[in-house]
Amino acid sequence: MLPCISIIFVLTPDTRDVSSEPPAARLSRPREESLAYHSAAGRAPGIIFLGGFLSDMTGTKARALEAYARGRGQAFLRFDYQGHGESSGRFEEGSIGRWAEDAITVIDELTEGPQVLVGSSMGGWIMLLAALARPERVAALLGIAAAPDFTEDLLWQRFPEEVKTEIETQGVHYEPSDYAETPYPLTKRLIEEGRRHLLLRGAIPLTCPVRLLHGLRDPDVPWETALRLAERLESRNVEVILVKDGDHRLSEPADLRRLEATLDRLLAGLAEG
């Protein structure tokens, strides 16, 4: 039985522009590594954007959210995981656990007070892991096509046997992408390490407010994932918003307005609470 979940169906279309990019700041990490980030000072709760698999912090949603936060006078942070965007390291050496550590590190070292985590695709998995690690710092969660457990449920379990054999024997498989010209690497490390962080197999002990936006036409992460996640969360304050003609990115102008409206209501609820 779903715990107090609202499901709202909406449609999409429209247009919007985002400002040019200033230079990124850098957070030093061990072994001469560093994480690139952009931040804006403001009031609490702060908003942290967590990007998707192979995405970076210069995307439409990340920058639109920064403009939104600045307009409200809300603190804001966006960053690149290890091996992504402007951060150091090789993507092939990354893993779900490592990228979750990156998120926890920026919460600990670059923010103060309560935070609202906004996770897109893989970032939805990362935001859950970060919230489990720092529940006292996380005021609310907002997932955009959240993809917890995707390495197992959406990759490994759907791979043909020849791809599984290639990963097992060679340590990597290069998968064609609809979002890039060159194939991207899926490593044995990514799959095996991801299994240590699976969340949808049991209850998820998070009790903060959660909002989940998901497109019914998402070709990458089935919209049913949002319902599975809502059911697993212990929070009694969960809303699932299904966008009838929404894709995986949910970055069209109407999608951005919906995202901002959802944040408006979420932040208003936190202020009242």
Do the beta carbons of residue 100 and residue 148 sit within 8 Å? no
C-alpha–C-alpha distance, residues 50 and 52, integer Å? 7
C-alpha–C-alpha distance, residues 131 and 110, integer Å? 16
What does the block give as tokens for 99?
A: 């990228």
Which of 80, 102, 218, 255 is labelled catalytic?
A: 218
Give the CB-side neighbour count of residue 55, counting CA atoms within 13 A: 22
2-35 as b/e: b if 16+ CB within 10 A: eeebeeeeeebeeeeebeeeeebeebebeeeebb
- Could you confirm whether 248 is annotated as catalytic? yes
Which of 84, 197, 214, 248 is labelled catalytic?
A: 248
Residue type, 252: E
- Could you confirm whether 218 is annotated as catalytic? yes
Q: Which residues, 6 or more positions from 92, have their beta carbon under 8 angstroms from its beta carbon? A: 83, 172, 185, 187, 189
Pairing of strands 115-120, 43-50: parallel
Which of 121, 149, 197, 255 is labelled catalytic?
A: 121
Catalytic residues: 121, 218, 248
